[in-house]
Each structure stands twice: as structure tokens, then as C-alpha cells.
A and B are shown apart, each in its own frame.
Chain A
């Protein structure tokens, strides 16, 4: 039997996988048995050495990584393909969305973005009582967690203060489910103090929502606006992102003689190679896969020219520490002014390089820089531009050290601030911290409150009690639990998979 057939056999016979997981891994193995989109030798070598990385997205990209449909299309016009009439009541609207989600692909095959829900649903709520609204949305929320249990599936509410946004945040804090993830879009000109306070109280309750700084995001997008998907990817609505590739900055620093060599030679080289990798993948998606001939484009849920390319980086902390050591300096990233400034300079160089490079088949002809939050096996590398876990300074110093990066990452940069549980008795402190962070230029804010059962690992949610259970008896309903357990246990690969896998963070079958 060939190696490949052995792998197929191994998957079908793995007692730790459910049948849907087997089906998914078989399809991934099949895709990955095809030849990779053609790469030049240098790019292939950099990919092989994992200085640049394709997020193990698969060899034959036949769907965009993140799809951000304008779901108002299916609600307002219905869908010929799905044989749906326009929605006229809240029940019909929720039902249409539940159907729509099953037809929206992403890297994980589950939708990573389920809409700016208050914008979508509010107009159906006029004659719905508060009590009915609560009941209906609660069932909807339960459905999402049980049927699409991927922590990367992301709902957005705000910036206006409205019944749907309030009810969703209330239900989310009550149910404390992993899925969906939730972003509250905050705008001091639009959002009321009350809804902002509700969002902060909800964070104390369940570490959700994530808060997005609308005044910084909105101007980058047009009348369609944007949505926040997966773990803090800010992307054009009615489009999305074709690909996410990323540079491992630690590896770039390791290949540099010193700081000058890093900036002059090595970083520019790998920036270019990562572009080539991105182009090869986009080319396959746009010119070979036929994806854009499908009904999503025909019916106007998405538009072919609204897909950006996310240009990711990670391991900034290790990169800076490596360069500091090469310069004979001991100051650490996150704690030392010189180290922090070196980090800011690297971000600026990356941003300018991405802005300067014309890209074909890319929204506005350019990629968007992204501080990438990590896979669960990024051994020893810290997500994006974050300060290594466990060595973070106090939350204010933390924000001050990182704020300057944020301007350079238009498609998203997520920090997780860990707050100790004493914040429970003092939500005003959290509110001030968010306001302070936003006033310094933070685009986004997420926090973990340390006694919450529900915590963020690299940006997605896991339940600590699930990890406990998972470790004890092997098996959890929620896919991200595995990644949490892995990330928590550093590289310890699961022996038995839970009922649902985290598709985005577990892109390969590993025995």
C-alpha cells in the first residue's frame, strides 16, 4: 500500500475521530495529494523551512479563506439557488440565516462570519416583544453552538445601541458558549454608555465580546463597510480574504547577521517571497478553481473584487529579542523601550512594503497587513505582535507598549489582556482600560478574566472545564478545546479528538 493510501486507511480506522471528522480529513488529504500551485525554487524553499507559511491551507485553494457575505441580500431578495423567498418576519429571517450559513465556505468549511446581526435583524423586530426576541435569539444561539460548533465562527453587533445587540450580549453572557465568538463594534459617537458598559460587564462574565474600535476601522472601508471574523480579522463585507499567509519573524531574525542585515537584506527578501506565495495561491483560486462562478457571486452575497489578501506576521516578540541579543542588548520585548521601538519599526517597514506592492485579484489592488494570532503548534512563537504569555506587564503598561503597532495592521491585530478576577467588583476599571487603549490607537480589545471558565487561547474561546474533561476522558464536543489543550499543554498532540475539530487551527490530520 502506498504511503498515501496508508494515511487514508489510518483516518478511516482512527477510533478517536467521528465520521464527520474522518470525512473532513480525507478530503484534506486528497487535496494535499495534488501538486502545490507552482512556486519558484526560492519561495518553495522558504515555505519548506517555514520561514513563510501558508497556514497549511491545502494545496489547491478552491475557496477563499474567509468569506464575509452580505447576508442582507438573502434576507431582502431571497435566493433562487436556495429557493428562499425574501424574509418578512423575524422567524423567517433567522431561518433564512440558518440555511444560508450552511452554504458559506471558509477555510474550515464552516462559516467564520455570520453577520452584523443587529443590522440584519433589527428591521424584523418592530412587532416582536422583548420576551419573544429573547426566546427566539436564545434558540438561535443554541443552534449555532450545537450545529456549527467552531469557535472561529464570529458574530458582530453594534455600534448602535439597539434591542438586538443588547439581547444578544445578554444571552451570550448567560449561556457562556464557546460558539459563536462575538465582537461588539464600539463608536463613542454612536454607542451609548449603557451598551458599552453592558459589553464590559459581559467580558467580566465570560471574556466575550471582543471590542472593535469603529472610528479606526470604518475609514478604511467603503459604504459596504466591514465585519470582524474568526479571530479578529477585519475584512471587507460582501467579500472577505482569499488567503492568509504569514512570515515567521523569529526565523527571519535568526537568518540575519544583525539589525542592519535584517532590515536591509533578510526581511525584504522574505517579504518578497511571502508575496510570491500569496500570489500563487490567489492565482489558483481566481483562475483555476471556478469558485467565483458560483451562486454566492451571482446572487450578490459576495463580489469577486472585494477579496483582500491577508498578509500575516507572527513571533514579533522572539524576533525582537533575537535582534536585541545580536546587538548585545538585554532589554526584552514588551518591557524595554528600545526593544519596543525596534518592534514598532519592524511593523512600519512591513506595513510600507505591503502598501507598496500592487496585487492582482485583490480588493483595492493591495494586500492588508495582519498580526496573526497563531496556530496551536507554533512552538515557542508568540502570536502576532503580542508579548509572550506569562511575562506580560500590568495591563496599562501592556497597552502602552503595543499601541503603536496597531496603526500598521489594518486587517486586524489582537491582544489579549489578562485581568485578575478582582476586576469583577469593579467594571468601571475595565471600561476605563478599554477607553484608554482606544485613545492610544488600539484597534481592538480582548480580555480574559482569570477565573472565567471561558477563556481565550490565541483568540478563540475554550472552556477550561472542557479541557479538564478532555484530559480526563478524551473527547469534547467543541473543536477548539483540543487546540486549547494543546496550546495549554505546549505542543502535546491530542490522542483522541473531540466530537468536533477546530478546523482552522487543526488543518492537518496528525496521528
Chain B
């Protein structure tokens, strides 16, 4: 049997920012964007077993077994030295999960959960696993009241969305920018598919929330904000829109020289969007 496996960088049993209620969140490793503003850059790429991180590990938690880098979580003290030295933004500390592993986690934490969210990296780069997992949840008597959500950058093409939406209750979608040149600068990709995904998900009734990252001097221009307002209004002015404010926490490289987004400016833009008719604009609860 060829059971799908997921490469998971982290599991949270408690998250109140990844969809409705408390959610178990699975962070999958690997992304098809490469945003300089990413606050989890070590989730971007899959490890190529180059071995560079192995001698750097102070506790000996990393070894090479038959050409593969192996991580022993019992010895690891989570210093994250390996993440710092990896030349490609990968992570040697990932775990492989099959569907049953995740179902077991859900059983164990069921009384605390409203649902599960697959995040990333970019969740949809491991689409087969998501479909298998969500299908299993929906057909499990004890788990089927859990809602199944995906947190996505929207780069998945239309046909692929169609394969996962029947077992998906909602998607949180990031829009990085409306100007396509700016979008390419911020993500390395064009925004056409992202905008199309937003419309497709909305039409399917599965767009739970749109997210927009405010970066001073880049995505906070009046033109961008106007296009954001127009785009949301064209869907439904009550669509939940979460404004995120760019901060340096976790960021690596060039974007550390970019200014952070401050609370008053975020509030001002939220107010502008509200006066443009959007009725469900959410601002960050905290700026760190």
C-alpha cells in the first residue's frame, strides 16, 4: 500500500489563531513561496541531507544514517542551531506522520478541540496527505464533528482545489499584494493564482478568512489598500479580513532591515477599510 506520509515540522495542541475555536495545528514542512518576511523561514524547504548541520549540533542529536540525516528528539534541547546553519532554509527536526498517527493525536486531544488546521510551510504542497486525512476524519464516528481547515498561500491551481474542497470546511488564505510586480518581489511568484483561489474558495463557500500582511512602505500604500478593499467588496464586504502587521520575530535576512508595522498605522488602515465598507476587519491582538 502506498499510504501518504506528511513531513511535519511542528504540532500544536492549542491554537486560537488558526480558525474557529481551539485547533490542533499541523505545520507541514516545505513551501512553494520564498517570502523574505517569513517568520518561520526554516519551514520553507525539505532537507536534502547535505549534512552541514550535523557537526553543529551541540548535543549530538543529529546523525547520518545511510546517507540520511536523522534527528533524535530525546537528546535535542531545541537550541535551533541546526536551523541557523542550514544553507537552504530546511529543518532536520521534522517527523513523518501517517494518517493514523494524526488520528491518534486527535483522539487523545478530542475533548479540547473544535477542529484541525493544516498549516505550513505551505500545506497544499502535501495535498494527497491532506485529502486522505480529512476523508478519514469525516468518516470517523468519533471525530467527524471536528472541522477541517487549511491555511494556505493560495498558489494551488483550481483543479487541485476541487479535489480537496469536498472534505474541507474552510480555508484561511493569505494575499501578499495586489500589484503583481510587488507580489513577485515579496514571494517569488505571481499573484494570479492566489487571487483566483480566493474567488474560487469564496464561490464554494469555503473562504473562512482572508489575511493581508501589512509591510510599511510596501503593502500599505493607498493603492494596495484600495485594491484590497475593492477585492473584498467584490466577494462580500462581510468576509473576515485579518490584518497582520509585519514584525521581525523569526525573520532572517534582508527583511530584518525593513521597518516593522506599528499599531497606530495598522489601526488607521483598518479604519480606512472599515469606512470603505468592510464590516469584518480584525487587527492583531499583539505586536511582537
Q: Which residues of A contact B (CB under 8 A)?
A: 394-397, 399, 419-426, 428-433, 435-437, 439-440, 451
Contact = CB atoms under 8 A, between A and B. Distances in A.
Contacts of A428: 20-22, 114
B258 interface: no
A37 B111 CA distance: 49
18 contacts: A394-B14, A396-B13, A396-B109, A421-B285, A422-B16, A422-B285, A423-B285, A425-B282, A425-B285, A428-B22, A429-B14, A429-B15, A429-B21, A433-B112, A435-B112, A436-B113, A437-B112, A451-B285
A429 B285 CA distance: 15
B112 A426 contact: no
Contacts of A431: 21
**How many B residues are at the interface, by size bracket?**
10 to 19
B29 to A, nearest CB: 21
Given A432-B22, A432-B112, A432-B114, A451 B282 contact: no
A440 B16 contact: no
Given A397-B13, A426-B20, A440 B282 contact: no
Contacts of A424: 285
Contacts of A435: 111-112
B113 to A, nearest CB: 7
A424 B284 CA distance: 10
A254 to B, nearest CB: 28
A451 B286 contact: yes
Contacts of B114: 428-429, 432
B18 to A, nearest CB: 9
Contact of A432 (B21, B282, B286): B21
Contact of B112 (A396, A421, A451): A396
B64 interface: no
Nearest to A450: B286
B45 to A, nearest CB: 27
B17 interface: yes
A396 B13 CA distance: 6
Contacts of A396: 13-14, 22, 109, 112
Given A421-B286, A424-B285, A451-B286, A429 B111 contact: no
Interface in B9-28: 12-17, 20-23
B22 A433 contact: yes
Nearest to B240: A425
Contacts of B20: 426, 428
A421 B286 CA distance: 7
Contacts of B112: 396, 399, 432-433, 435-437
Contact of A426 (B12, B13, B16): B16
B21 A422 contact: no
A437 B16 CA distance: 16
A339 to B, nearest CB: 15
B116 to A, nearest CB: 13
The B interface, classified by DSSP as helix, strand, loop or mixed, is: loop
Interface centre among B17, B21, B111 (most CB of A within 10 A): B111
B14 A395 contact: yes
Contacts of A425: 16-17, 282, 285
The 7 nearest A-B residue pairs measured at CB? A436-B112, A429-B16, A428-B21, A436-B111, A429-B22, A396-B13, A426-B16
Nearest to B15: A429
B34 to A, nearest CB: 26
B266 to A, nearest CB: 14
B286 A422 contact: yes
Contact of A440 (B21, B23, B111): B111
Contacts of A397: 13-14
Nearest to A439: B111
A395 B112 CA distance: 10
Nearest to B242: A425
Interface string B264-288: 0000000000000000001001100
A82 to B, nearest CB: 48
A451 B263 CA distance: 15
Nearest to B288: A420
Nearest to A432: B22
Contacts of A433: 14, 22, 112
A422 B14 contact: no
B16 A423 contact: yes
A394 B21 contact: no
A87 to B, nearest CB: 43
A422 B22 contact: no
B109 A426 contact: no
A399 B20 CA distance: 21
Given A423-B16, A429-B21, A432-B114, 12 more contacts: A396-B14, A396-B22, A396-B109, A421-B285, A422-B286, A425-B282, A426-B17, A429-B23, A433-B112, A436-B112, A439-B111, A451-B285
Contacts of B282: 425
Contacts of A439: 111
Nearest to A398: B14
Interface string B23-46: 100000000000000000000000
A441 to B, nearest CB: 11
Contacts of B21: 426, 428-429, 431-432
Given A394-B13, A426-B17, A432-B21, A420 B111 contact: no
B10 to A, nearest CB: 12
Contacts of B13: 394, 396-397
B113 A432 contact: yes
A64 to B, nearest CB: 38
A422 B111 contact: no
B40 to A, nearest CB: 16
A171 to B, nearest CB: 25
A396 B285 CA distance: 21
A396 to B, nearest CB: 4
A426 B113 CA distance: 13
Contacts of A420: 286
Nearest to B23: A429
Nearest to A394: B14
